[in-house]
Amino acid sequence: MKITAHTRMVGIIGYPVRHSLSPVMHNAEFARLGLNYVYVAWEVHPGEIPEAVKGLRVLGAVGFNVTVPHKQAVVAELDELSEEAKAIGAVNTVRFENGRAVGYNTDASGWREDIERTISLAGERICIIGAGGAARAVAVGACQAGAAALVICNRRFETAETLGELLRHYFPSVEVTWSGLCGDHCRELVRSCHIIVNATPVGMTGKGGCPIPSDWLLPGQFVYDTIYTPAETQFLAEAKARGCRVQNGLGMLVRQGAKAFELWTGVKPDPDAMEREVRAFL
């Protein structure tokens, strides 16, 4: 596909962002469908979000994705939020509509669709590690899928409490508890759950480490890491060694991206084709 003066522009902002596979899958799908779009990655430092949103609006971008650590901070720069983005309190997709910046969140449905290819969430007790934008989306997705109980474990107790109270407000039928990310109490909460989700950047390429001690895990638990680079994080490797079933976040990336693709273009993409492109690139 040739870039011309008529090519429409979308992309992703984050920090860091050079690891992103979104340009690979979006540009391949644009080419496959014959759409004159291009998707690029913009590394935006914390504190530069207002300038980035204003610049993309002025340059005529169709929209953009938002990744860590900007999913909550970008909300203040937008003119409108979808109902799901309001409930989650975080945005991962922005579309410019008649000069207005409208925020959406496709992470919740993208994660739900991906994990439920492997395991049903209905009636499950799920532990989410983290309380930022990704954790909020996972929590809402789990509640929408009929989870019986959620446990939020986060380094800062106050942030976990804020998310927990938000979930209790929107999903009163779900049992929600929270904890700081240390000590015997948190360990026992993790062990009380069948599904464990890492929704922090810990373990991402360049960061390393595990979000919780791996000896907190029990054989037979299902461990999902929202990270997709590397394909097997230290957390997943150690979970597998302890007899857990594991899954990384590549499918979540693809499925949330497919929904963003449709928001920008009005064309429904093939998520399986997008995933094949990403796996071939890797």
Locate the domains of the chain by residue range.
Answer: 8-105+252-281, 109-248
Query: What local confidence, expressed as pLDDT, does residue 41 receive?
Result: 98
The pLDDT, as a whole number, for residue 205 is 81
What distance in Å separates the CA atoms of residue 194 and residue 126, rounded to the nearest whole number? 6
Give me the pLDDT at residue 201, please: 92
The fold for domain 8-105+252-281 equals Rossmann fold (3.40.50)
pLDDT in tens, 26-54: 999 999 999 999 999 999 999 999 999 99
The mean-pLDDT minimum among 25-29, 63-67, 131-135 falls in 131-135
Q: Which class for 245: exposed (0-12), middle (13-18), buried (19 or more C-beta within 10 A)?
A: middle
Q: Using a pLDDT cut of 70, give the percent of the chain over it.
A: 100
Catalytic residue IDs: 71
Q: How far is CA 162 from CA 47, 104, 152, 203, 235, in A?
A: 23, 21, 10, 24, 26
Say if residue 206's pLDDT is above 90: no
Q: What is the pLDDT of residue 111?
A: 98
Residue 282's pLDDT is what?
Answer: 87
Tell me which CATH homologous superfamily contains domain 109-248.
NAD(P)-binding Rossmann-like Domain (3.40.50.720)
Mean pLDDT of 100-110: 98
